[in-house]
Chain A
Amino acid sequence: MKEKTLADYKAMQERCCNCSYCKWIPLDKIKSNRFAYNCPANAYFKFNTYSARGRFQAGLAVANEELDYTEGMTQMVHSCLSCGACDVACKISRYNLEPLEHNIALKADVIEKGHTILAQKVMLNTLATEGTLIPNMKKADRAVWSEGLGFKDLAKEKAEVLFFPGCKYGYDKTLKETLRTTVSLLLNMEADLGVLGESEMCCGGRAWQMGFEKEFSKTADINISKIQKTGAKIIVTPCADCYHALKRLYAERGLTMEVLHVVEYIDRKVKEGRVTFTKPVNMTVTYHDPCHLGRQGAPFVPWNGTEKKIFNQIHTWEPRRPRNNGANGIYDAPRNILEAIPGIRLVEMERIREYSWCCGAGGGCGQSMPAYAEWVAGDRVAEAKSTATDALVTACPWCNGMLSKAVGKDGETMPVYDLLELVARAL
């Protein structure tokens, strides 16, 4: 597959109309001034430069060799969380721009030209040596979490379902029990479950989000080969980042297996009547849509085409190009589960579904720009608290981690749950 360079985006850079819609949630959805913003980088760093529009304009200047990368510009480029909120907002009215794709292309360009943030280098080194993007983690410890659970080792035997926990769940000790409970749940649902075990490695999605295309490609190709060999029919993952990598990025590179987030899997089982929640969980909760499960969670649809102008100047694509605008993400499955649990009352935040606010972990910024990422998470916590809810629920360990860290910063704490924890309580 041909990797695009920044120069390939010149048409988009010049066709961005500076309307600023990329800075706001879709305007139709605004319910307050406080939670109207959608772009964390623009909201935190404030200058227009940090918005998708600013990135188009900066990218154009780079492509035209009018700007050189400086330290400040490098930081600007990498501050994009790759959350895709700008992408959804832009595509409310534009059919010929891909802001998220361009943001990542700009990152790839700055990396290509040798400009990265120190923390990113550490992450990438760990990926190369230990197969994970989480610094200080060891390859040898990867499967420790699953000891005693009675999984099938897919390197040795066959199973219908490949369970892919991802790095965050796999290594984070605070999430270990949740993960183990989850697997027990799945096993109780009579899932024919297996894991890659010690040969599992990072999905690489975070590297892709950071613009490290080559590193991602290398990781993805190794993983795809391993996964295809297992002969499993379905991959299930509890991580939104892994889900996005497997579902969309790997599919683009040839993975043909069905990919489900664990909430989809459970929702399916509930609908089939295979699972019934019996124990009440009495609380009011609000649900945080992970970016890579929600607006970026739509299935990959292959396309290989070109631009075609009709009626003199109207831009279209030939053949029809799939639109990744957040319309087909995974929003209902987690909500269906919450609504099926007796005692739970779901109240929504203002920014939800395709226009959800990022938790701050995206684009590796949780590690590369921690103060900024924590501010982003804090904004989400503030939004959750404004709903007068008892708890904040999500379906991604990265979101869980960021939100949990931010939740007590204002002196008022609030439980943050992975949806799976509530499922476990309800069974």
Chain B
Amino acid sequence: MNNTIEKLIKIAGEGAVQFSEDAILPHIGNRNFETPMRPMAIVRPQSGEQVEAIVNYAKENGVPLVPVSSGGPHYSSSSAPSVPGAVIVDLSGMKKIISINRRFCMAVIEPGVTYGQLQKALADEGLTISVPLAPKINKSVIASLLEVQPRLNSVYQWNYIDPLRCMEVTWGDGNRMYTGEAGGGVRDLNKQQAQGKWQINGAGPMMLDFCRLLTGSQGTMGIVTWASVKCEQLPQIHNIHTVESPSIKKLCDFTFEVLRWRFSDELMIMNAAYLSTVLAEDVISKEKIRKQLNDWQAIVGIAGKEMLPELRVKQLESDISDIAKKLGLNLSPQRKEIEGADVLGRITSACVGTHWRESYSEEFAQIFFVTTISKTEFFVNAMNELAKNAGYPVKEIGVYIQPQHAGTSCHCEFLLPYHADNLAQVRELFFKASAIFSEMGAYFARPYGIWAKLQFEKDPLAAKHLKTVKKIFDPKMIMNPRKLSTATVEVAK
């Protein structure tokens, strides 16, 4: 047992520190073809105070820290160390829902709180929270929000960080503070709430937007130990519709028109490969579902909430249907013949039981970036062309487009299933496609793995300025070193 482990035990308690092979193995990532690195230990703090102490120790002793909040298995490369000997700060045990305020639709939660847990608690209050596509049951809400995963009902998303608001953070320099509106008051959540302050405004405080240094940072700036999140009314009526087309362009036009008038709740485009993958329980059912699907489908959620829900649903269905008709498309209620597929439940709720990614023997490579809705078709065509040239079956490529993500961006995602026997082929395709997309103007706003290098090479000034900021908040460069490529490259010591 080395000094670091001893110190971690002193801070968090004996049961909170693990360094056995079994414990460490799940954290050695091989995610999107990144080189796996072996962490030294896993520490599971239970409070902001413990996190603060851990960071201060790490700062003094140059110990790399990698924060993780979701339960395994881990798909995101941000939670895998990029340097050897790191300590995983596993926050998944901090599972308290600190408060839910129905009147303001706000909840304050710890990082270990999962979508499954939060959705259930919110439902009891008549609330819910927007979700990314089919989250796993143990996906940390805070991690998902910090990663800025696209939300399905982005029409409710006012800006890039929504529905994330205020946070408690310990920066890489060891200072713990609150962000947003909460940062302007006493550093005591209970006292703030007793004063009627519900951590609603996530901006600032003052003229520095602390929350935005944490979103998309892949754990390189600090560790969040609670966050307030904006919730929504639980729909009283919630229907799902599809609009099918052999043409992605038509569906892009359709979603543009729907969003333009702020209609719909959930709204996304998927091809048959992606949707069937998400809906199915296994490979056999996937094929069965897939055969029933058109090449492309827009999925349209329509919800009636507190105020005249029936009337609202009727109006939205009629107006969205009119938009579809004008484009020669048809809005239809969820097709019953998609056997065994509860589209609404599957995509909007945390997956109960096995997550779809675990249903298959295959692995999945993912390429995603943001662009504009008007450009998505070109990226899809390019992907198909690249796959053809690489000998990869085009029909296996899953495509998911979230037409409005974080304001005006459009999330464009490709899913490439592979087995051990075509790993090398897919690896090459992944690298090549990423590079070509980057050249085509794909913006890797969430630059995981090799995308960071691609993106920062296009924008060296951003890398330079980011390095300056990183030095302020993490002067010893202990927070998830080597992530974000050039922006944090000076770390490895």
Chain A in direct contact with chain B (Cβ < 8 angstroms) = no
Interface residues of B (CB under 8 A from A): none
